[in-house]
Amino acid sequence: MSTVAKQIEQSWRDDFPVFRESGVAYLDSASSAQKPQAVIDAMAGVMQTHYANIHRGLYDFSQKTTSAFEAARAKAAAFIGAASAEEVVFTRNATEGINLVAQSWGREHLKEGDEIILTGMEHHANIVPWQLLWKQMGVSIRTIPVRDDGTLDLEAFERMLTPRTKMVCAVHVSNALGTINDVKRLTYIAKDFYPDMKVLIDGAQGVVHQAVDVQDIGCDFYVYTGHKLYGPTGIGVLWGRAEVLESMPPYQGGGDMVEKVTFEHTTFKKPPARFEAGTPAIIEAIGLGAAIDYLNTIGIDAIAAHEQALLAYGMERLADIDGLTFYGNAPQKAGIISFTADWGHPSDIGMILDQCGVAVRTGHHCCQPVMERFDIDATVRASLGLYSSAADLDALVAGLRKAKDLLG
Ligand SMILES: Cc1ncc(COP(=O)(O)O)c(C=O)c1O
């Protein structure tokens, strides 16, 4: 068997109990990934053996759960090459991480007239928090143009920078187009113009498809979300460079983030505790740690090779179907295939595919501005995960043939 054929065949599918129950061709991992047994066991294990609230209890259960929670933080930090676990703030998801930066760093360090640059392919999660700040503070927002092939125009970005630009926010891998952005180059351009410019990378899709090293990228903030990384919902990661987190005021107030409270005055703990008010998602953080252990055992590079082989296979098979237009044809692209058909609307196609046992996403994928850029309102999106197989893509092609017969 050739190496490519082996990469296509390999899918670690048996690690995912859902596929023992269902033969669904699950092609919606960019939206949320299925969970391996290792994650389910780790979460159930805490509840079955030593569950308790963390940080406060002197008794055995609390100490054990605290250790597991903090071990998960260390894993979440090491996974993206962070210098220390203290640079990782646990959030609910990627969205909350970006809102935290906007409301804490943004309100502390920006002023009216300052500029924030976003890319033209951001998820709403990396647009709306900055728009709220625009309404609150009068900062302005500009966007880096997206080329026809779905890549960013970084030359235009260089020309856009002005002394008023204080923050650049970019998606690492576009969930709508699959483009893998050169965030290291983007960060370099920003910092070369003004070393103190802050760069936030939305890694919600970034960490899933390739190895990430935040120190190598050179950014200041990197966010990701547990449920797309084969972990649970309700847990996300905000990584911030230590000195930048240190310069930020609390985002929310409550227990566990304070040193001393009187009715007149409160002093706050250092990061990351300063940003984790109240009881955190303890079981979910431990589940995320288990997901990271699981991925490290396989190796993210092996997963990337599998997805790339499948992506090539899928594109080749889909070329046989007439009337499809693909969005996002960047040379560096993750396992995300977004397309429209001249014979049917994405939502009709999605419903027929569901009847064929194929789960895809249809719609704007929370990226309305990039849909507008390509003059469409929706696409069909098939996205791959480590459990995806050639059979899933064959089922997609067969389902599309049926959809074409019915709608065309
Ligand atoms: C690129 C990107 N950014 C951010 C998000 C938001 O993730 P969450 O809803 O987990 O916060 C998503 C989710 O689809 C995404 O694909």
CATH of the domain at 326: 3.90.1150.10
Work out the end-to-end distance of the chain between its first and last CA atoms, rounded to an integer number of angstroms: 38
Q: What is the CATH number of the domain that holds 292?
A: 3.40.640.10
Give percent of the chain above pLDDT 70.
98
Residue 49: per-residue pLDDT = 98
Q: What is the pLDDT of residue 11?
A: 74
State if residue 367 touches ligand 1 by the CB under 6 angstroms criterion. no
Ligand 1 contacts CB of residue 93 (under 6 A)? yes
The residue annotated as part of the active site, out of 169, 219, 356, 366, is 366
Say how far apart CA 330 and CA 92 lie, in whole Å.
31
| Residue 289 and residue 313 in one domain | no
Confidence of residue 394 (pLDDT cuts 50, 70, 90): very high
Residue 348 maps to a domain: yes
pLDDT band at 408 (very low <50, low <70, confident <90, very high): confident
Ligand 1: which atom is nearest the Cα of residue 227? 10
In a domain, 35, yes or no: no
Q: What is the overall mean pLDDT for the chain?
A: 96
- Is there a domain that residue 367 lies in? yes
pLDDT of 317 > 90? The answer is yes
Confidence of residue 379 (pLDDT cuts 50, 70, 90): very high
pLDDT, mean of residues 39-59: 96
**Long-range contacts (CB closer than 8 Å, 24 or more residues apart) made by 185-190:** 185/154, 186/152, 186/154, 186/157, 187/217, 187/218, 187/219, 188/218, 189/154, 189/157, 189/158, 189/161, 190/161, 190/165
Give 63 Cα–ligand 1 centroid separation in angstroms.
33
Shared-domain flag, residues 392 and 279 = no
- Residue by residue, what is the 3-state secondary structure of the chain? CCHHHHHHHCCCHHHCCHHHHCCCEECECCCCCCCCHHHHHHHHHHHHHCCCCCCCCCCHHHHHHHHHHHHHHHHHHHHCCCCCHHHEEEECCHHHHHHHHHHHHHHHHCCCCCEEEEECCCCHHHCHHHHHHHHHHCCEEEEECECCCCCECHHHHHHHCCCCEEEEEEECECCCCCEECCHHHHHHHHHHHCCCCEEEEECCCHHHHCCCCHHHHCCCEEEEEHHHHCCCCCCEEEEECHHHHHCCCCCCCCCCCEEEECCCCEEECCCCHHHCCCCCCHHHHHHHHHHHHHHHHHCHHHHHHHHHHHHHHHHHHHCCCCCEEEECCCCCECCEEEEEECCECHHHHHHHHHHCCEECEEECCCCHHHHHHCCCCCEEEEECCCCCCHHHHHHHHHHHHHHHHHHC
Does residue 139 lie within any of the structural domains? Answer: yes
Per-residue pLDDT of 352-374, as tens digits, reads 999 999 999 999 999 999 999 99
- Is residue 241 located within the same domain as residue 373? no
- The residue-averaged pLDDT of 311-320 equals 97
Q: What is residue 2's predicted lDDT score, i.e. its pLDDT? A: 64
Domain boundary among 278, 296, 314: 296
Q: What is the pLDDT of residue 4?
A: 65
Q: Which atom of ligand 1 is nearest to the CA of 31?
A: 14
- What mean pLDDT comes out for the span 296-313? 96
Residue 385, domain member (yes or no): yes
Assess whether the C-beta atom of 204 lies below 6 angstroms from ligand 1: yes
Tens of pLDDT, residues 101-139: 999 999 999 999 999 999 999 999 999 999 999 999 999
Report whether residue 123 contacts ligand 1, using a CB cutoff of 6 Å. yes
- 202: Cβ below 6 Å to ligand 1? yes
25 touches 392 (CB < 8 A): yes
pLDDT on residue 166: 98
> In terms of domains, do 99 and 21 share one?
no
Q: What is the mean pLDDT of residues 177-187?
A: 98
In this predicted structure, what is the pLDDT of residue 87? 98
User: Which residue, judged by its Cα, is nearest atom 14 of ligand 1?
Assistant: 31
Amino acid in position 168: V
* Same domain (yes/no): 236, 350: no
* pTM higher than 0.95: yes
pLDDT of 1 over the 80 cut: no
Q: Do residues 324 and 370 make contact, with C-beta atoms less than 8 angstroms apart?
A: no
Say if residue 318's pLDDT is above 70. Answer: yes
Distance of CA 136 to the CA centre of its chain: 26
In contact, 34 and 19? CB cutoff 8 Å: yes
Place of tokens 């797309």: 228
Are residues 305 and 289 both part of a single domain? no
Give the pLDDT band of residue 5 (cuts 50, 70, 90): low
Residue 308 belongs to domain spanning:
3-30+300-407
Residues 22 and 96 in one domain: no
Confidence of residue 246 (pLDDT cuts 50, 70, 90): very high
- Nearest residue CA, atom 7 of ligand 1? 94
Determine how many CB atoms are found less than 10 A away from the CB of residue 80.
Answer: 23
Q: Is the CB of 177 under 6 A from ligand 1?
A: no
Active site residue 366: yes
Name the domain count of the chain: 2
Asked whether the predicted pLDDT for residue 215 surpasses 90, the reply is yes
Each residue's pLDDT tens digit, 64-87: 999 999 999 999 999 999 999 999
